[in-house]
């Protein structure tokens, strides 16, 4: 295949097998004591600790998901599962490290909506191919997004609010966790669907935005429910619509966007597991089975449910299709909204 043929937005040029091997060797050399080069063997795999690279800082939803599932994986596989946080550049640093790692079944990557849905459409160049550099293992969980609105905004349902926004273009502001973040793209998708004009106010993370939303400095935010549920209960914010196929158990009285006439607004943070391209199929199958079993454990499901996290699971093929669909879908939104990050 020549450079540029069937390439996804932001992918790297084709590299030779020799270059890939050299890159993998360099990455493995960084962890010689704990992660020596060793191919997965179907009879003994795994025979040593498994490293899961998370491209985001400790304490966030990506990190918590990886550690929660990783603990169960460790119990089921009989080996430690070590989370290696490599935050920076919207997950690009961690994703590149994983793409260059030895394809032996002992280095995995937690993929996210950011790294394998939105990111490939926002950056002109990526140091890896989001499709060709990885082997899909399983889509683990998703966190549906919800539109929250400050109580100073008139309107008790989405139809009333959209009518208000159309009558006052540019007057109302929405917060996001930053330019190119999932909440940003979800809000832009809503703007396109509803035909409204809102002013974007980016913050450095959801945590930084919440106080201003609660204070009414910004009027809207589409994000995961956990940081907002207490404020909804206290009457400081209203939950207006769930960007999900069904209503959320934590917000049973809040209709979905589709119920209120806006189809195609399903959007959520999601987390899955990938391995470097060329990882043995036996290892992929073993990991897929272990993670699916972990996701069915009652204590894990209860913990996730308390934070509005939906357990998914499935096959490697299904996860691969999901990634391709997400890249295509959010590419259309990014182009329509003219969002690009240099």
Tell me the per-residue pLDDT of 81-104, one tens digit each, with 9 for 90 and over. Answer: 999 999 888 899 999 999 999 999
pLDDT value for 179: 87
- Looking at every residue in the chain, the average pLDDT score rounds to 88
247: CATH: 3.40.190.10
**Residue pLDDT, tens place only, 165-185:** 999 999 999 999 888 889 999
Instruction: Tell which of 260, 277, 312 closes a domain.
Output: 260
- Domain range holding 249? 145-260
Q: Specify the number of domains making up the chain.
A: 2
> Is residue 145 helix, strand or coil?
strand
Residue 7 located in a structural domain: no
Do 323 and 240 sit in the same domain of this protein?
A: no
Instruction: Tell which of 243, 260, 277 closes a domain.
Output: 260
Do 251 and 284 sit in the same domain of this protein?
A: no
pLDDT of residue 117 exceeding 90, the answer is yes
* All residues at 6 or more sequence positions from 179 whose CB lies less than 8 Å from its CB, including other chains: 202, 339, 341
For 165-209, list the strands marked E by DSSP: 173-176, 199-202
Q: How far apart are CA 207 and CA 210, in angstroms?
A: 6
Count the neighbouring beta carbons within 10 Å of the beta carbon of residue 248: 18
Instruction: Tell which of 230, 260, 290 closes a domain.
Output: 260
Do 29 and 138 sit in the same domain of this protein?
A: yes
Residue 59 located in a structural domain: yes
pLDDT value for 121: 93
320: CATH: 3.40.190.150
Do 165 and 225 sit in the same domain of this protein?
A: yes
Do 219 and 241 sit in the same domain of this protein?
A: yes
Whole-number percent of the chain with pLDDT over 90? 73
pLDDT of residue 7 exceeding 60, the answer is no
Do 209 and 134 sit in the same domain of this protein?
A: no
Do 333 and 309 sit in the same domain of this protein?
A: yes
């Amino acid at each position: 295949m020549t450079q540029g043929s069937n390439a996804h937005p932001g992918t790297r040029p084709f590299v030779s097998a020799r270059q890939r091997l050299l890159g993998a060797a360099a990455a493995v050399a960084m962890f010689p004591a704990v992660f020596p080069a060793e191919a997965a063997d179907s009879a003994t795999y795994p025979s040593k600790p498994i490293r899961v690279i998370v491209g985001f800082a400790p304490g966030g939803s990506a990190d918590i998901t990886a550690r929660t599932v990783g603990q169960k994986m460790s119990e089921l596989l009989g080996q430690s599962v070590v989370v290696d946080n490599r935050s920076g550049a919207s997950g690009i640093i961690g994703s590149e490290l994983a793409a260059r790692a030895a394809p032996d079944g002992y280095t995995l990557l937690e993929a996210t909506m950011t790294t394998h849905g939105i990111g490939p459409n926002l950056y002109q160049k990526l140091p890896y191919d989001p499709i060709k550099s990885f082997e899909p293992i399983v889509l683990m969980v998703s966190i549906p997004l919800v539109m929250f609105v400050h109580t100073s905004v008139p309107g008790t349902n989405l139809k009333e609010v959209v009518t208000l926004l159309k009558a006052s273009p540019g007057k109302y502001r929405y917060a996001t966790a930053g330019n190119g973040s999932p909440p940003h793209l979800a809000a832009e998708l809503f703007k396109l669907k509803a035909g409204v004009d809102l002013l974007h106010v980016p913050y450095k993370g959801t945590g930084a935005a919440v106080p201003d939303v609660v204070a009414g400095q910004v009027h809207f935010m589409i994000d995961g429910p956990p940081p907002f549920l207490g404020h909804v209960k206290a009457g400081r914010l209203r939950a207006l619509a769930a960007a999900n196929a069904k209503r959320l158990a934590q917000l049973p009285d809040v209709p979905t966007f589709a119920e209120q006439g806006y189809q195609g607004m399903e959007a959520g943070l999601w987390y899955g597991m990938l391995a470097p391209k060329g990882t043995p199929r036996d290892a992929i199958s073993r990991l897929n089975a272990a993670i699916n079993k972990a996701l069915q454990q009652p204590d894990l499901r209860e913990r996730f449910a308390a934070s509005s996290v939906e357990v998914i699971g499935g096959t490697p093929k299904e996860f691969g299709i999901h990634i391709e669909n997400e890249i295509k879908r959010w590419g259309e939104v990014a182009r329509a909204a003219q969002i690009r990050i240099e």
